[in-house]
Amino acid sequence: PCRSVLTVACEQTEVLLFDPISSKHIKTLSEAHEDCVNNIRFLDNRLFATCSDDTTIALWDLRKLNTKVCTLHGHTSWVKNIEYDTNTRLLVTSGFDGNVIIWDTNRCTEDGCPHKKFFHTRFLMRMRLTPDCSKMLISTSSGYLLILHDLDLNKSLEVGSYPILRARRTTSSSDITSSGSSGPRTFSSPCHQYDSCPLSEKHMSRSSQREGGSPRNSLEVLTPEVPGERDRGNCITSLQLHPKGWATLLRCSSNTDDQEWTCVYEFQEGAPVRPVSPRCSLRLTHCIEEANVGRGYIKELCFSPDGRMISSPHGFGIRLLGFDAHCSELVDCLPKEASPLKEIRSLYSHNDVVLTTKFSPTHCQIASGCLSGRVSLYQPKF
């Protein structure tokens, strides 16, 4: 968070640490895990967590990198995502086992942390918390986006124990169970798996009859509109949130792997029209088609710290995208209909497909990493 260290998750069990100012290599954690390292999350300026395909999460202290603080066991498949609630100091992880697990870092020992399963859904891809931790968003490989409203991480959720708000496409009021009635589809990418609905129709119909206002952890299920996708379906591979909580940023690929899109959806807050209606839905405001290279690999994109720009992997480089040509705030240039993102600059310095990019939280600097292992740092010229 203070921009003193850049950490890099690598395919072959390693974590690399660099000084982003001097670009010097600080240290290599050669056996950080027993399999590919997928994600790194700082809890503060000292502690950070890593997760891996070895099904574990590890906690590290920058002051003592020779050994882990502890290793967390609880997932049964590849762990792909780490979030942190700074208010409660709870670590939140998700994996391809479909589980979202809560870890109490307040009671961390060398043997790990107390943990509990918070939520489960099939074909889970990514999980994020909004900046104020009031919502949890979960994307799936079958194209659904789940939103837990009025989030309470202290309450575990079992199937049928949470109220399900009326599910719909982001541009219509059609119910998700009707869209899930079509027959199975086949996909060419290993990350594309069909699921008629992440939640059963039985629980959907029963829960939608609940009366009264929406309590904590109310679940909304959406099928985000994706340009060019139409009725072919899509896989939501990357999920990010605007730093001010105004919008969500998705990277979607078609089930036939012939198109890839970056899409921005505005959060539309408001009181429910009726008790079973969602209090928040998403509206597609901006989008752009991507290069669609490196099929089967997930490309992680990000917002700038002020939320005015998006850095997106694009072939062997990255594109800096804005909501308009002047890099205006999203709220100052909301279109009536979905508009193209504006390409501010393209940067190509890699010799392989770029998979991840990240803005510095405090300085005018961007980092990108490609499939062959090269890390590039960019700074603007004034």
pLDDT of residue 191: 39
> pLDDT for 195-234, tens place per residue?
445 554 334 333 333 334 457 888 899 988 888 655 556 8
127 and 250 together in one domain: no
Is 200 part of any domain? no
Domain containing residue 125: 1-132
What are the angstrom distances between the C-alpha of 250 and each of 62, 113, 242, 310, 334?
32, 31, 11, 11, 17
Is 20 part of any domain? yes
pLDDT of residue 12: 86
Helix (H) / strand (E) containing 8: strand 6-9
User: Which domain-ending residue is among 115, 132, 149?
Assistant: 132
127 and 257 together in one domain: no
Share of the chain above pLDDT 70, in %: 80
128 and 257 together in one domain: no
Residues 370 and 3: their CA atoms lie apart, in Å, by 21
Mean pLDDT, the chain, rounded, equals: 83
User: Which domain-ending residue is among 132, 166, 189?
Assistant: 132
371 and 244 together in one domain: yes
Asked if residue 221 lies in contact with residue 199, where contact means CB atoms within 8 angstroms, the answer is: yes
> Across the strands, what pairs with 313?
318
Helix (H) / strand (E) containing 198: none
Is 248 part of any domain? yes
Q: Which residues of 197-209 are buried (b: 16+ CB within 10 A; e: fewer)?
A: bbbeeebbeebbe
Is 21 part of any domain? yes
- Strands of the 317-322 sheet, one edge to the other: 302-303, 309-314, 317-322, 342-348
Is 148 part of any domain? no
User: Which domain-ending residue is among 88, 111, 132?
Assistant: 132
Supply the CATH number for residue 283's domain.
2.130.10.10
Domain count, the chain: 2
Residue among 234, 241, 119 at smallest CA distance from 185: 234
pLDDT of residue 164: 55
Is 302 part of any domain? yes
pLDDT of residue 162: 58
Instruction: Please spell the DSSP secondary structure of 95-151, one letter per residue.
Output: ETTSEEEEEEGGG-BTTB--EEEEEE-TTEEEEEE-TTSS-EEEEETTS-EEEEES-
Tell me 23's DSSP state. Answer: -
Is 224 part of any domain? no
Q: Cα 221 to the chain's mean position, in Å? A: 16
> pLDDT for 233-246, tens place per residue?
688 999 999 999 99
**Residues 6+ positions from 262 with CB-CB distance below 8 Å:** 249, 250, 251, 287, 288, 290, 301, 310, 312, 321, 341
Is 162 part of any domain? no
H-type alpha helices, the chain: 176-179, 201-207
Residue among 141, 125, 118, 150 at smallest CA distance from 234: 141
Residues 208 and 166: their CA atoms lie apart, in Å, by 6
Pairing of strands 168-169, 218-223: parallel
The model's pTM is: 0.84
247 and 122 together in one domain: no
> pLDDT for 66-85, tens place per residue?
999 999 999 999 999 999 99
Collect the ranges in the chain with pLDDT lower than 70.
158-214, 228-233, 270-280, 382
377 and 245 together in one domain: yes
123 and 247 together in one domain: no
118 and 248 together in one domain: no
> pLDDT for 332-362, tens place per residue?
999 999 999 999 999 999 999 999 999 999 9
